Amino acid sequence: MRAGRAGLPDTSRPPPAGYSSHGRLERVLRSGRFAVTSELNPPDSADPAEVYDRALVLSEVCDAINAVDASAANVHMSSMGICALLSHAGYASVLQVACRDKNRIAIQGDILGASAMGVMNVLCLTGDGVQCGDQPGAKPVFDLDSISLLQTVRTMRDESRFLTGRKLSVPPRMFIGAAANPFVPPLAYRADHLGKKVAAGAEFIQTQYVYDLDIFERFMARVRDLGLDRKCFILAGVGPLASARTARWMRANVPGVHVPDALIDRLEKAGPPKAAKAEGKAICVELIQRLREMKGVKGVHVMAYRQEEFVSEIITASGVLQGRRGRARALPAAPA
């Protein structure tokens, strides 16, 4: 696509018919290819090189790179900051917006700013509670929730207006996403809740880590019954478990992560740390391959905390790219 001023992708023109954005992720999904996204773990640093080093690794194997927004309520470089850097360098990014830290004034402003910078995807999240992060004394905002946030972004994009009705001269052209966690109570309601997100504007979904395929298959069956797999693109979340100990720690400390005992046993039987890590990788590759066969799953979202190289190895080993190069590029080439 042609570059706008300042070398950023030009998003002021309307996208092609049937598309919400000019972005690669939407193009890959709508063309029926299996999409791969991953997340860039934000640095505790003001050095852009730390972002670019990680982006370079991920861009080879991904269609878009998520810039996480203080996940688990820990302070790092902001999603907006990372997206700005990625846009400048020509990478396709996903802006993550958590309702925890910003009210509707800040969020709507950020959506416009991100779109102006050429960010073509946005993931609308509620956000983890402040108590689980490194700043438990912070004031939790939660002015909107994930669904009212989705509606807000869609109103801005499709109706060219802010929540209050004030007009926008050029709307943000963004592919809108949401998260889903099929693994925590109320299990029977989770697919219907996804339906609510889709009705609010979600076009792609990135799920919580899938470790329990039985629960996920039951969830997907209900999703298909509701016809939601035809109304949105579901990317299943996956990630390697480094050892039985980390798996137990994640289960106990990371909100919303469910790891079944069978997987923990498998990691335990693998033995020493190196063998356990290899087993963790094997499990992850297997999960990706099985998810790929599951009806209604249109891609995977690979997450591994501060292990971008490992993510790349896993995606390559899983064979889901089928020879095509991922390349989370918005522009033809990144500046040298």
Partner 1 sequence: MYALRLFAVRHARFFERFYGFFEATYVAAAPLVRRIGANRLERPVAAVERTVKGTLFDCRMCGACILSSTGMSCPMNCPKQMRNGPCGGVRLNGHCEVRPEMKCVWVQAYEGSRRMAGGDAILERQPPVDRSKEGCSSWLGVLRDKGLVHREPAA
| CA distance from start to end of the chain | 19
Give min distance, CB of 145 to partner 1, in A.
5
Give min distance, CB of 103 to partner 1, in A.
9
Q: Which is nearer to partner 1, 43 or 195 (CB)?
A: 195
Among 30, 196, 245, 292, binds partner 1 (CB under 8 A): 196
Give min distance, CB of 303 to partner 1, in A.
14
Q: Which is nearer to partner 1, 258 or 292 (CB)?
A: 258
Two tokens at 304?
Answer: 């591994």
Among 144, 174, 242, 283, binds partner 1 (CB under 8 A): 144
Q: List C-alpha distances in Å: 140 to 98, 100, 104.
A: 11, 6, 14
Contact status: 102 vs partner 1 (CB under 8 A): no
Q: Is the peptide bond prior to 186 cis by the omega test (within 30 degrees of 0)?
A: yes
Give min distance, CB of 247 to partner 1, in A.
15
Give min distance, CB of 235 to partner 1, in A.
15
Contact status: 189 vs partner 1 (CB under 8 A): yes
Among 128, 203, 279, 308, binds partner 1 (CB under 8 A): 128
Among 184, 221, 275, 278, binds partner 1 (CB under 8 A): 184
User: Rounded to an integer, what distance in angstroms lies between the CA atom of residue 34 and that of residue 75?
Assistant: 33
Q: Which is nearer to partner 1, 133 or 296 (CB)?
A: 133
Contact status: 208 vs partner 1 (CB under 8 A): yes
> Could you tell me if 127 and 69 are in contact, meaning their C-beta atoms sit under 8 angstroms apart?
yes
Phi, psi of 309 (to 5 degrees): -60, -40
Q: Which of 123, 146, 11, 111 is nearest to 64 (CA)?
A: 123
Under DSSP, is residue 181 helix (H, G, I), strand (E, B) or coil?
A: coil
User: Rounded to an integer, what distance in angstroms lies between the CA atom of residue 281 and that of residue 274?
Assistant: 11
The stretch among 166-174, 193-201, 268-276, 295-303 that binds partner 1 (CB under 8 A) is 193-201
> Could you tell me if 25 and 121 are in contact, meaning their C-beta atoms sit under 8 angstroms apart?
yes
Q: Which of 265, 267, 261, 306 is nearest to 284 (CA)?
A: 267
Q: Which of 212, 195, 87, 217 is nearest to 150 (CA)?
A: 195
Among 74, 181, 289, 316, binds partner 1 (CB under 8 A): 181
Write the single-letter amino acid at 168.
Answer: L
Give min distance, CB of 129 to partner 1, in A.
4
Give residues 26-65 in contact with partner 1 (rule: CB under 8 A). none
User: Rounded to an integer, what distance in angstroms lies between the CA atom of residue 80 and that of residue 265?
Assistant: 40
Give min distance, CB of 213 to partner 1, in A.
17
Give min distance, CB of 208 to partner 1, in A.
6
Among 42, 43, 90, 195, binds partner 1 (CB under 8 A): 195
* Strands of the chain, DSSP E: 35-40, 64-67, 93-98, 121-125, 175-180, 204-209, 233-238, 297-302
User: Rounded to an integer, what distance in angstroms lies between the CA atom of residue 324 and that of residue 336?
Assistant: 23
Give min distance, CB of 334 to partner 1, in A.
33
The stretch among 50-58, 76-84, 123-131, 166-174 that binds partner 1 (CB under 8 A) is 123-131
Q: Which is nearer to partner 1, 9 or 127 (CB)?
A: 127
Residue in the block written with tokens 């909107």: 144
Q: Give the count of residues interacting with partner 1 (CB under 8 A).
A: 38
> Could you tell me if 11 and 116 are in contact, meaning their C-beta atoms sit under 8 angstroms apart?
yes
Give residues 223-282 in contact with partner 1 (rule: CB under 8 A). 255-256, 258
The residues that touch partner 1, with contacts defined as CB under 8 A, are 99-100, 104, 126-129, 131-132, 140, 142-148, 151-152, 163, 179-181, 184-186, 188-189, 192-193, 195-196, 199-200, 208, 255-256, 258
